[in-house]
Homo-oligomer: A and B are copies of this chain.
Amino acid sequence: MYICLMYSNELIKGTLKTIVLNLLSKEKRMYGYEITQHVKEATDGKIQLTEGALYPLLHRLEADGLLTTEKVNIGKRVRKYYSLTKNGAETSGNLVQEFREFSSTMNRLLDTFTLKPSYHG
């Protein structure tokens, strides 16, 4: 996904990594499905991550040394837990701060010109 029912979904590109790393900086370890559910609940369904976006990202982050994994058997199923590496924790903090700054800059920019959106026809 990134099924963002309330938003034109293009807005969110680039924030998935931030969301995931930030979550893992607070929770010791999480598995993919758990992440999707957590984000969904925390945002009242406003942000929903798709597997097609999430799983490849998790694999990439592991390959890049930002995450480590441990497999845990749950009955006959194998659950894959992800945790931050030291590098991942650092990156997490940076990305969150970057988003905050960007968000602030954007909102200021939009404020400057959104007093009355009008049609100058």
Q: Which residues of A contact B (CB under 8 A)?
A: 4, 6-15, 17-19, 22-23, 25-29, 39, 42-43, 46-47, 83-86, 88-89, 92-93, 95-96, 98-103, 105-110, 112-121
Is A120 within 8 A of B4, CB to CB?
no
- The residues of B that contact A100 with a CB separation of less than 8 Å are 107, 110
Find out whether the CB atom of B98 lies under 8 angstroms from the CB atom of A15: no
Distance, CA A47 to CA B114, complexed state (A):
18
Give bound CA distance, A42 to B18, whole Å: 26
Q: How many copies does the complex hold?
A: 2
- Docked pose: A27 CA to B117 CA in angstroms: 10
Residues of B within 8 A of A27 (CB): 113
Bound complex: CA of A2 vs CA of B84, how far in Å?
Answer: 29
**Contact, CB under 8 Å: A102 / B7:** yes
Point out the residue from B23, B47, B101, B110 that lies within 8 Å of A99, measured CB to CB. B110
What residues on B are CB-neighbors of A119 within 8 Å?
84-86, 88-89
Report 23 cross-chain contacts, Cβ distance below 8 Å, ordered by A residue: A7-B101, A8-B95, A10-B13, A11-B14, A11-B99, A11-B102, A13-B14, A19-B109, A22-B109, A22-B113, A22-B117, A26-B112, A26-B115, A26-B116, A28-B120, A29-B120, A43-B109, A47-B105, A85-B119, A89-B117, A99-B110, A103-B103, A103-B106
